[in-house]
Amino acid sequence: MTQAIPATLADIQAPVRARLDEVRSELRRIVEADFGLIAEVNAHLLQMQGKMLRPTLLLLADEATGAPDPRAATLGAVVELIHLATLVHDDSVDHSVRRRGMPTINALFSHQVSVIMGDYLYSRAVIELVRLADLEPLRILGRVTNEMTVGEMRQLLAHDRLAFSEEQYDLLIMAKTASLLSGACETGAIRAPGEQRQAMREFGLRLGMAFQIVDDLLDYTGDATITGKPVGADLREHKVTLPLIHALPKLSASQRREVSALMDTETPTDAQIAAVVEAVTEAGGLDYARERAAALSTGAEAALELLAPSPAREALRASIPFVLDRRS
Amino acid sequence: MTQAIPATLADIQAPVRARLDEVRSELRRIVEADFGLIAEVNAHLLQMQGKMLRPTLLLLADEATGAPDPRAATLGAVVELIHLATLVHDDSVDHSVRRRGMPTINALFSHQVSVIMGDYLYSRAVIELVRLADLEPLRILGRVTNEMTVGEMRQLLAHDRLAFSEEQYDLLIMAKTASLLSGACETGAIRAPGEQRQAMREFGLRLGMAFQIVDDLLDYTGDATITGKPVGADLREHKVTLPLIHALPKLSASQRREVSALMDTETPTDAQIAAVVEAVTEAGGLDYARERAAALSTGAEAALELLAPSPAREALRASIPFVLDRRS
């Protein structure tokens, strides 16, 4: 299913390149503030802009499901803004100091500024959606934002919990990650016939779940010089993810004791982490996670069959191996 | 202007008592969660319910400006919910441990839970407003929520700042406190003719500014056994409010040095605080703040003249001395 040469982000964004520039200027317009401190934080946030994956998916969904919606760039900016607000609060919750190779808002300013700034960005997103005078995007994105908060709560409870089940993990990654990708795709298809809108929603949900599984896999297998974070960072924070969940019942008694010891150690050593990574790998935890990501990808691809062929649809298809084969 | 015997909260709430019960049950319905941790936090938040001042004003505004709107109880619940979300984030930002005589969410659960929970409550408010399928309350309350975040940012900058001007103080209390009271009153008058809606908005703005000035005064004059927080708590946190702003240019050189010393001391002593309270009182800072609160109250009362006489209008009028003369 994956192509011989996976598409680059630039390939995927090609059909909507001009409109992505519009998303960037809409984003600047929407967050603009005349209050000094907020303007400063905004400038920092706009500098650390990432891949714009969510607006890209929204614009591609828009193009792949019918006549381009003139509001799509604004909607893409709002979706990216909600993503940014979430990152700012996440970093505050996790006390993270770096994100995308740059200091986080809580590191550069303060914890207080992070909490308030997340609220600022989110309320700006709501104001912008009200300005568009259409309840439908508000309905989708209100629900998504709420799901993400539930996902964050689930994440808090997924620490130190060796009883954490695969079903709970699925609920967690749906809420935390897949929800907004799915919402972005659905928002792009907001004027499309019901079954196309539903297809885009499902495409985004599966792509988003695969995205998070790959993210969790990279914690076991990634190259720290590419991912920007050391291997085993999740384990170090006692975060239980799919590879470990799957491996756990297959481990020997002594391996299980090693896992428990790591969870009971405030700051696990590199040797402790390496031993657990090895045990999880041997027990097939990584292979299993890869299989699940691949199965979700197949599901995402199947959802695209409902759309008529178009360059935008092919770019959506190409986003699947892009997510699956990424190294960071 | 104030009555001989100030009205009690029960007097003010009398015209809308039954509908306030409806607000409470709507609030429970809107925040309901099947996820254990969120349900636990909700139960704690609903227990620490306060005076319901904002829903009371909304319901009174609704009754005083025309035929009762059947959505008013739901709107009142949403306004109280936004207020609760703000309190949860404020307590997290301020690291407060008690609120309304009960432990705060950050004290009882954690800082993480507070940040996420505020987002949960706020997104529930948005979902509920979308469900009402009317953009107008969303327009008012989206703007209000954004103003409150700007107010919080201003608050961060009002620490240790002896150059903080009365104009900046006014902008701060408008954004931080008056904005939501004004929004509550305006939302109650959402179906009323334009000038009545505008009058309710101005009534709430002035009442809200007076409310915050009285709050700041109580920090200088309050009885700790009634207010529940020690006199000078703001000064202890280096918070600059109206009495000090007004007094500052009138202080002697040695008194000014005392103020600067307090601001430069991480944990000021009771004697340091008592000396500054005395200097501010002597210089007329408290009298000036009382005068400004009284002038705002007169303005609030004048805004009510646009409404036809009714028990609801009289209850709105009675809410002014209630705010002005309160002791906690």
Q: Per-residue pLDDT tens for B299-327?
A: 999 999 999 999 999 999 999 999 998 87
CA A207 from centroid of its chain's CA atoms: 10
Report the residue of B106, B123, B161 to disrupt the A interface, i.e. the one with the largest count of A CBs within 10 Å.
Answer: B123
Distances in Å between the alpha carbon of A260 and those of A1, A34, A157, A158? 39, 52, 16, 14
- Cβ contact B130–A138 (<8 Å): yes
The minimal CB distance from B116 to the residues A38, A93, A127 is found for A93
Q: List, for residues A147-169, the tens digit of each pLDDT value.
A: 999 999 998 888 767 788 999 99
Containing domain of residue B58, as a range? Answer: 9-324
Cβ contacts of A221 within 8 Å, gap of 6 or more = A231, A286
Q: List, for residues B93-103, the tens digit of each pLDDT value.
A: 888 888 777 88
Write down the pTM of the prediction. Answer: 0.93
**B3 in any annotated domain:** no
Q: Which residues does chain B have within 8 Å of residue A92's beta carbon, measured at their own beta carbons?
A: 115
**Residue A133, helix vs strand vs coil:** coil
Instruction: Using CA coordinates, name the residue in chain B closest to A148.
Output: B120
A115 with B93: CB under 8 angstroms?
yes
Report the residue of B35, B92, B121, B149 to disrupt the A interface, i.e. the one with the largest count of A CBs within 10 Å.
Answer: B149
Instruction: Using CA coordinates, name the residue in chain A closest to B114.
Output: A93
* Portion 104-123 of B in contact with A at CB < 8 A: 110-113, 115-120, 122-123
- Cβ contact A156–B123 (<8 Å): no
Q: Which residues does chain A have within 8 Å of residue B130's beta carbon, measured at their own beta carbons?
A: 135, 138-139, 142
- Cβ contact B126–A142 (<8 Å): yes
Count other C-beta atoms under 10 Å from residue B35's C-beta. 18
Return the pLDDT at A2. 46
Return the pLDDT at A4. 53
Buried b (16+ CB within 10 A) or exposed e, A150-182: bbbbbbeebeeeeebeeebbbbbbbbbbbbbbb
Whether the predicted pLDDT of B293 surpasses 80: yes
Whether the predicted pLDDT of B5 surpasses 80: no
- How close B277 comes to chain A (CA, Å)? 28
Residue B284: left if φ>0, alpha if ψ -120 to 50, beta else—which one?
A: left
B118 with B42: CB under 8 angstroms?
no
A54 touches chain B (CB under 8 A): no
**Residue carrying structure tokens 């970093």:** A91
Q: List, for residues A90-128, the tens digit of each pLDDT value.
A: 888 888 888 777 888 888 888 899 999 999 999 999 999
A156 touches chain B (CB under 8 A): yes
- How close B28 comes to chain A (CA, Å)? 16
> For chain B, what is the radius of gyration of the CA atoms?
20
Count other C-beta atoms under 10 Å from residue B207's C-beta. 28
**A1 in any annotated domain:** no
The minimal CB distance from A116 to the residues B119, B124, B153 is found for B153
Q: Which residues does chain B have within 8 Å of residue A145's beta carbon, measured at their own beta carbons?
A: 119, 123, 126
Q: Which of A148-157, A230-239, B138-147 has the highest mean pLDDT?
A: B138-147
Whether the predicted pLDDT of A83 surpasses 90: yes
Element of type H or E holding B36: helix B36-47
Q: Which residues does chain B have within 8 Å of residue A150's beta carbon, measured at their own beta carbons?
A: 33, 35, 38, 120
**B2 in any annotated domain:** no
The minimal CB distance from B116 to the residues A37, A120, A152 is found for A152
Strands B102-103 and A102-103, by their bridges, are unpaired
A135 touches chain B (CB under 8 A): yes
Count of the separate structural domains present in chain B: 1
Mean pLDDT of all residues in A297-308: 97
- How close A116 comes to chain B (CA, Å)? 6
- Cβ contact B130–A139 (<8 Å): yes
**Residue A251, helix vs strand vs coil:** coil
Gap between the Cα atoms of A113 and B153, Å rounded: 7
pLDDT > 70: percent of chain B: 98
> For chain A, what is the radius of gyration of the CA atoms?
20
Phi and psi angles of residue B103, each rounded to the nearest 5 degrees, phi first:
-65, 145
Q: List, for residues B235-269, the tens digit of each pLDDT value.
A: 998 999 999 999 999 999 999 999 999 999 999 99
Alpha helices (H) in chain A, listed in sequence order: 9-13, 17-31, 36-47, 53-64, 72-94, 105-108, 111-131, 135-157, 166-173, 179-188, 194-221, 224-227, 233-236, 242-247, 253-264, 270-282, 285-304, 311-324
**B315 in any annotated domain:** yes
**B4 in any annotated domain:** no
Cβ contacts of A25 within 8 Å, gap of 6 or more = none
Assigned token pair, A127: 């104001």
* Portion 170-229 of A in contact with B at CB < 8 A: none
SS (HEC) of A12-63: HHHHHHHHHHHHHHHHHHHHCCCCHHHHHHHHHHHHCCCCCHHHHHHHHHHH
Gap between the Cα atoms of A232 and A270, Å rounded: 9
A85 with A121: CB under 8 angstroms?
yes
Whether the predicted pLDDT of B1 surpasses 50: no
Whether the predicted pLDDT of B2 surpasses 60: no
Strands A102-103 and A98-99, by their bridges, are antiparallel
- Cβ contact B37–A156 (<8 Å): yes
- Cβ contact B153–A115 (<8 Å): no
Cβ contacts of B198 within 8 Å, gap of 6 or more = none
**Residue carrying structure tokens 């630039």:** A10
Cβ contacts of B220 within 8 Å, gap of 6 or more = B231, B232, B243, B277, B280, B281, B285, B286
| Prediction ipTM score | 0.93
Q: Which residues does chain A have within 8 Å of residue B115's beta carbon, measured at their own beta carbons?
A: 89, 92-93, 115, 118
A125 with A147: CB under 8 angstroms?
no
Residue A268: left if φ>0, alpha if ψ -120 to 50, beta else—which one?
A: beta
* CATH, residue A312: 1.10.600.10
Long-range (24+ apart) CB contacts under 8 A made by A270-278 are: A270/A232, A273/A231, A273/A232, A273/A235, A273/A236, A274/A232, A276/A232, A276/A235, A276/A244, A277/A220, A277/A231, A277/A232, A277/A235
A153 touches chain B (CB under 8 A): yes
Gap between the Cα atoms of B78 and B72, Å rounded: 10
Return the pLDDT at B4. 53
**B1 in any annotated domain:** no
Whether the predicted pLDDT of A273 surpasses 70: yes
Least confident among A121-125, A187-191, A322-326, B307-311: A322-326
- How close B153 comes to chain A (CA, Å)? 7
- How close B201 comes to chain A (CA, Å)? 19
CA triple B300-B306-B311, angle to 5 deg: 80
Whether the predicted pLDDT of B117 surpasses 70: yes
- Cβ contact A156–B38 (<8 Å): no
Phi and psi angles of residue A284, each rounded to the nearest 5 degrees, phi first:
85, 15
Gap between the Cα atoms of B326 and B315, Å rounded: 16
- Cβ contact B119–A157 (<8 Å): no
Q: Which residues does chain A have within 8 Å of residue B33's beta carbon, measured at their own beta carbons?
A: 150
Instruction: Using CA coordinates, name the residue in chain A closest to B130.
Output: A139
**B123 in any annotated domain:** yes
- How close A150 comes to chain B (CA, Å)? 7
Whether the predicted pLDDT of B224 surpasses 80: no
Return the pLDDT at A289. 97
B33 touches chain A (CB under 8 A): yes
**B119 in any annotated domain:** yes
A70 with A195: CB under 8 angstroms?
no
Q: List, for residues A40-76, the tens digit of each pLDDT value.
A: 999 888 887 788 999 999 999 999 998 789 999 999 9
Report the residue of B34, B127, B146 to disrupt the A interface, i.e. the one with the largest count of A CBs within 10 Å.
Answer: B146
